[in-house]
Amino acid sequence: GEAAGEAARYMLAPGAVIGLTSVGPSGARVNLTSGGQTVYNDRYVRSGQSLSYTGTNGSQCWVSLMSLQQGNPGAASFKVGCNS
């Protein structure tokens, strides 16, 4: 599925939240939590790059940065998926 919006926090798979800390011309810094545990903290992700994480049910999940809109905090769209 896809998650997009002006907010700096996005719900991903059940129990996972990605937070946008800053958006630059070619990437963004994100925080990712899954099941209340921090997976990535202020991690830089380039457009088109994926980050993998373990979902709350133990499945392998990923989130990739699709597009960016610079600003403060800016906006981004993500594509997410899990291997069931």
**Helix locations, 30-79, DSSP H:** none
Question: Is the pTM here over 0.85, yes or no?
Answer: no
Cα 64 to Cα 12, 28, 39, 72: the distances in Å are 11, 11, 15, 21
The span from the CA of 51 to the CA of 3, in Å, is 15
The model's confidence at residue 1, banded by pLDDT at 50, 70 and 90, is: very low
State whether the Cα torsion 11-38-61-63 is positive or negative: positive
> What kind and span of H or E run contains 60?
strand 60-69
Q: pLDDT for 32-78, tens place per residue?
A: 998 888 999 999 999 999 999 988 788 899 999 998 888 766 788 88
Once rounded to an integer, what is the mean pLDDT over residues 5-9?
53
pLDDT value, residue 36: 86
pLDDT value, residue 25: 87
pLDDT value, residue 76: 86
pLDDT value, residue 8: 61
